[in-house]
Chain A
Amino acid sequence: MGLLILMALNCFCVMFLNKKDQTVAVVNCFGVWSAFSLMYWGGSGVSRESLSELFCVDIYSSSMISLSLWICGISILVSSCMTNLRGVFNSYLILVTLLCFLLVQCFMVNTLAMFYVLFESTLIPLASIIGIWGGQIERVPSIQYMAAYTVGGSFPLLLIFTTMEVHAGSSFMWFISMKTTSLNWLFWGGCFLGLLIKLPAFPFHAWLPKAHVQAPVGGSVILAGILLKLGGYGITRMMMLFSYTLESFGILVMSFSIVGSVYGAFMCLRQSDIKKLIAYSSVSHMAFSIMGLFSCTEVGMVGAYIMLVSHGFISPGLFVLSGINSEMVHSRKIKVMSDGVRAAPSLGFFWLVMIMANLGVPPCPVIISEVLSVVCVIALYPWVFVLLLMYFILSGAYSFSLYCQLTRTKKKIKMKVFFNEVTLKDMSALYFLFYPLAEVLFKWDLWAMM
């Protein structure tokens, strides 16, 4: 509650600043809030600082809260450097701050009903961001896809918490635990469908590439950085609430995820649009989180959260780079973006670092997550390793292909770039995304139970 009050008070103070200072002030506020949110971090169990009637926070919530605040700050930082945000920038500040406020509450609330309301409410600011600052006319169908998938998929969850409210009188998440063996596929499907769509899990991933392509850079940063993680967090809470153990439904989901990881990597290989490539790469990476979560092992849970948090920094980093690079050449086509890399060679270095981080090259924490998730899945059925091997080969192939296309040195008569210098200010968002990855690397066992 203290964090929310601090956020509200800071926003109120920022309102009185000069419009030119508001951007810097809001970015600084996000930094302060992220630091404040570290107070909620602790070991296993509920954080004492967070206990109240409405809110209850443990390590899973607090890591997501800190990630939300950090990513939203990065989103504003990177958007302030972009020239493609039309209209009043202050509207963007308001929408991102509102979205962050809703997200933080979503990760803090202790009832399923409030979680659902806030889960759906986060769609509104994001849809507004895409609708107002999206590049093309196709942003309307992309918003419709996103809304229909998310809202439609979470209707069963609406029915479930309504049933809890009607029959049990409360949807309090921390003490109600239905210990019964009579829960069937329909129930688990209803619990997890909306959250799996949010992640997004194969085969419900179709909305993500459309949304990413149409969203501005800041919107993509938030979508990839934190909004997808809502699904993973929700799955954790539902499993805790209903004492989920390894069910046949979970094995089906894991099977789809394994296929989804290979599918995502294969689709990345075929993409010419950088944003779609990063979107499909997100589908692949989130598949590992799903595998870890549904394996119902501590190792799997740790692996899943490492992936969720790491991906929350790496994927926005890729979008930031793609935003800077595509602004130089006014195109998202990878082959055209190589002109920008040739004009500003430092971009080539940053692309290499981010692609390697995305691939999971040590010391990036993604490799730890992938190893832990693979261990969980192979423990169930060893021959799955064949598919996972395909994934590793394909992910290496698309990463290598992407880097080669971006840094090709084939001479052209004229380079078509709009500016040929990338300054420290442009890259500041990227630096702030690198640092937390190091923290995750050193604290990778944070989500372990003991």
Chain B
Amino acid sequence: MQMLSMIVFLVMSLMASIAMLFMSSIFWVWVMTDVGTLFLIPFLSAETRPKKSWFTGVATYFVIQFFGSVMILGGIILDWAIEAADWSSAMMCFGFALKLGMVPLHFWVSRSFVYFHYGGIFIVGAGQKVFVVACVPLFSDVPLCAYAYYFMAVGSMIYGPIAMFNAIAVKSFLAYSSVTHTGFLVIGSFFGLHIVYAYSFIYCVSMAFLVFMLWSGDCKFMKNLGSELPGYYKTGFVCIAMSFSGFPPFLDFCTKFVILQLSMEQDSTITMVSILTSSLINLIVWVWVLFIATSSEVKEPGFLSGTTGQNVLNMSCIIWNLFMGAGFSMLY
């Protein structure tokens, strides 16, 4: 019954978020965003073994999202009442940036993620952010907001991998990974929404594989990843890690390369430098994660040693990361 309720709330949140994409008025965008967030609360609260920690995570997430919504609504009302365009846009911009968890407004991301279940991490870290990022281009005609988003995105891309290095808990690691990719998504939004949708689709699928594997092993700490990650998923995890490292010809290299190419066409030097810096730090981090994940004191079952479903998932993950990069490059 609990699983059914989680699915229902998730679907309702998804519907609200999709509806948000088709709204023409900023007010209704705000409404749908908030409705989507509200429906996520029960989903995030669902725990098979209730404990106090879930409350901490969900409460933090709710307070931050609520404050962000207040800022957005405040901006809308300010613009309607006294037509202070720049100030109202700045307030709304602040609200959306807080919801996205971009540097320097990222403080809540790790604090919340540590207490979420893995499904919640995927939805909040990947799924929900895709829809909120789609609101960023609304402010592209306000220079103050555009520059603010740009530099916050650059900061997120560079700070995220550094923070990942210092993560002790797996969920905290995923939180900062989410911050990094949010930066890439926002940068991509400056080049066109088609890039955002393509990147977010790829990111969501990759994160789904990653989160599922970590959930199946109930992984808690980075240092224990090798022993906690199931042996039949290790090959898939290695592929994901290599992809997130940015090694060609894996998938994540191709997506970052497309954004790099677009920034080159626009002669955006800061973007190019930040992408390359982020990629370099990310490489070092994921090599470290790869080593931890593949080291284990106990001899474990190897490749294709799980059930049919587990093997299918593992193979799908390998194929996705190894070959979809070429597919994406050809399509794009």
Contacts and interface: CB of A to CB of B under 8 A. Distances in A.
Interface of A: 116-117, 120-121, 123-124, 127, 131-132, 139-140, 143-144, 147-148, 151-152, 155, 158-159, 162-163, 165-166
Given A140-B291, A162-B264, A121 B272 contact: no
B95 interface: no
8 contacts: A120-B248, A144-B287, A147-B283, A152-B283, A159-B260, A159-B264, A162-B257, A163-B264
B290 A148 contact: no
Given A159-B264, A162-B260, A121 B291 contact: no
Nearest to B275: A155
Given A127-B287, A165-B261, 6 more contacts: A117-B249, A121-B248, A124-B242, A147-B287, A158-B260, A159-B272
Contacts, number: 59
A270 to B, nearest CB: 29
Pairs of residues from A and B, 4 with the lowest C-beta to C-beta distance, nearest first: A117-B248, A155-B276, A140-B291, A152-B280
A117 to B, nearest CB: 4
Interface of B: 242, 245-249, 257, 260-261, 264-265, 272, 276, 279-280, 283-284, 287-288, 290-291, 294
B58 to A, nearest CB: 37
A140 B276 contact: no
A147 B285 CA distance: 11
Which of B248, B264, B284, B291: most chain A CB closer than 10 A? Answer: B248
A151 B278 CA distance: 12
A166 B284 contact: no
B291 A131 contact: yes
A148 B280 contact: yes
B283 A162 contact: no
B246 A151 contact: yes
Q: Tell me what chain B mostly uses at the interface: helix, strand, loop, or mixed.
A: helix
Nearest to A131: B291
A147 B279 CA distance: 12
B279 A155 contact: yes
A166 B280 contact: no
A151 B294 CA distance: 22
A132 B284 CA distance: 17
Contacts of A166: 261, 264-265
Contact of B247 (A120, A131, A140, A162): A120
A48 B291 CA distance: 45
B247 A124 contact: yes
A148 B283 contact: yes
Contacts of B284: 144, 147-148
Given A124-B242, A144-B284, A155-B276, A116 B248 contact: yes
B276 A143 contact: no
A151 B291 contact: no
Contact of B280 (A124, A155, A159): A155
B225 to A, nearest CB: 13
Contacts of B247: 120-121, 123-124, 151
Contacts of A132: 294
A162 B248 CA distance: 14
A165 B332 CA distance: 14
Nearest to B249: A117
A127 B290 CA distance: 11
A139 B295 CA distance: 12
Highest count of chain A CB atoms <10 Å: which of B245, B287, B290: B287
A139 B287 CA distance: 11
A140 B264 contact: no
A140 B272 contact: no
A151 B283 contact: yes
A200 B260 CA distance: 27
B62 to A, nearest CB: 39
A155 B282 CA distance: 14
B330 to A, nearest CB: 13
A121 B249 contact: yes
Contacts of B283: 147-148, 151-152
A151 B264 contact: no
Contacts of A121: 247-249
A131 B248 contact: no
B266 to A, nearest CB: 10
A165 B257 CA distance: 12
Nearest to B260: A162
A59 to B, nearest CB: 28
